[in-house]
Amino acid sequence: MRKVVVTGMGVISPIGNSLEEFTRAIKAGKSGVSRISVFDTTDFDVKIAGEVKDFDPSQWIDKKERRKMARFTQFAVAAADQALRQAGLIEKDPQGPKRIKSDPDKTGLVLGNGIGGFEIVSESFGKLLGQGPRRMLPLTIPMMINNEAAGNISMIYGTAGPAFTQVTACASGTDALGQALDLIRSGRCDVVVSGGSESCITPFGFGGFQMLKTLSLIHNDEPEKASRPFDKDRDGFVLGEAAGILVLESEDHARGRGAAILAEFAGYGASADAYHITSPDPTGIGGGKAIAGAIRDAGLRPEDIQYYNAHGTSTEINDPTETRMIKRAFGDHAYKLKISSLKSMTGHCVAGSGGMEAITCVLAIQQGFFPPTINLDNPDPECDLDYVPRKVQYGTVDAAASGSHGFGGHNGVVVFKKYQEEGRNG
């Protein structure tokens, strides 16, 4: 079976719009949650979100093209550009040629997106109701649909291999990575650009989530304290937006072109709870199966994993359920694991979370640190594992896993490990 490696990463997030800024923010335990600035929240109970700040799409996309893209697509293109430049697959000069330096027919795209262009839906539907169908945005359909991030990246960089979009709610970004892994292992692709992107901080998106009673309400005046996974005082998740994109390659392809290899993408596991449309199975059996499956697929044992990036949404039901998932999969080793939730800093970025959290695992392996779970001041007794409270910790990370769990009962888990060439010890 072909070994798959990571050669590039890019991120647009509430805590940074470059890999360097993102990494510094994680180590500093920086919150990206703030008062909403993109729409008037007067009529909303929830007034906070993990917004992407200071995003200038002109750094990556020309004016004519970005006018045809929803915000989630712009995020994905920007993060993909960063990742491809780090991988050395396009020119480092931002103004240089965009065409990819690999066989286009063997270069694929698998992106995760849960919701699509919500701001486009909202604007066009408003025009439809207020002014009639002839006033709707001409590109309403191609801008709003989930697959357009993958489509735009393919057109910009000239990739001609498979181009898919995975839609499994909050597990979309992680499941996209799993599908990309299979494309390379099977030989269909040598290179796959993969991850997730999401942007739904709109009145329509917030209204919908607010009606589900899932969002944090009690920290509108202290936004940075609102997302508090595994803390007994949590009261719901904070909606965020982001893109996290990785360049994946077969080991032979990466070594053949002299690429710097960041980590091995070793395993993927997936399952369905078959339980409830929004709530996870409280026993944790479904998620536990996905974790165990990913570890087996990586050819590892539970005790080989040092760090687990939890879904960690900061909701009443999810956090103790995920604790049970981890215990099911890891057994006694669960109490020796370092576990944390990036969402404590970014909020829940839906499909964007899976890509960002996979990148976090690779960074932990590369740089030897355990990201913190900020705001974990009063641990929930039902969440009795080591969630790296409040501050970053340092130590060797040979292997790390990341789990995502979406509405509908979707469970996806990926495993990364330190890259070692065959016949060498590291």
Contact 83, 193 (CB under 8 A): yes
Residue 426 burial (CB < 10 Å; 0-12/13-18/19+)?
Answer: exposed
| DSSP assignment of 371-382 | --BTT--SB-TT
* pLDDT score recorded for residue 139: 85
**Could you read off the pLDDT of 210-261 as tens digits, one per residue?**
999 999 999 999 999 999 999 999 999 999 999 999 999 999 999 999 999 9
**Could you read off the pLDDT of 371-407 as tens digits, one per residue?**
999 999 999 999 999 999 999 999 999 999 999 999 9
* pLDDT score recorded for residue 346: 98
User: How do the domains of the chain map onto residue ranges?
Assistant: 4-256, 267-414
The least confident of 79-83, 122-126, 152-156, 183-187 is 122-126
* pLDDT score recorded for residue 95: 64
* pLDDT score recorded for residue 129: 87
> Structure pTM?
0.96
Strands of 119-275, DSSP E: 163-166, 191-198, 242-250, 263-272
pLDDT exceeds 60 at position 342: yes
Contact 322, 237 (CB under 8 A): no
4-256 shares its CATH topology with 267-414 = yes
Please list the residues that pair with 163 across neighbouring strands: 109
Contact 7, 170 (CB under 8 A): no
CA distance 307 to 372: 11
Question: Among residues 200, 219, 253, 311, which one is catalytic?
Answer: 311
The verdict on whether 348 is a catalytic residue reads yes
pLDDT exceeds 80 at position 426: no
Please list the residues that pair with 414 across neighbouring strands: 268, 402
Helix-helix angle 118-131:203-211, to 10 degrees? 100
Question: Among residues 170, 349, 361, 383, which one is catalytic?
Answer: 170
**In this structure, what token pair is assigned to residue 274?**
């078959």
The verdict on whether 276 is a catalytic residue reads no
Contact 195, 349 (CB under 8 A): no
CA distance 180 to 164: 9
CA distance 225 to 216: 10
The domain defined by 267-414 folds into Peroxisomal Thiolase; Chain A, domain 1 (3.40.47)
Average pLDDT over residues 92-99: 69
* pLDDT score recorded for residue 125: 78
Question: Among residues 219, 253, 348, 405, which one is catalytic?
Answer: 348
**Could you read off the pLDDT of 257-291 as tens digits, one per residue?**
999 999 999 999 999 999 999 899 999 999 999 99
- Class level of CATH domain 4-256: alpha beta
Cα-Cα-Cα-Cα dihedral sign, residues 41, 76, 246, 284: positive
Residues 6+ apart with CB under 8 A from 78: 10, 12, 17, 55, 57, 59, 60, 61, 243
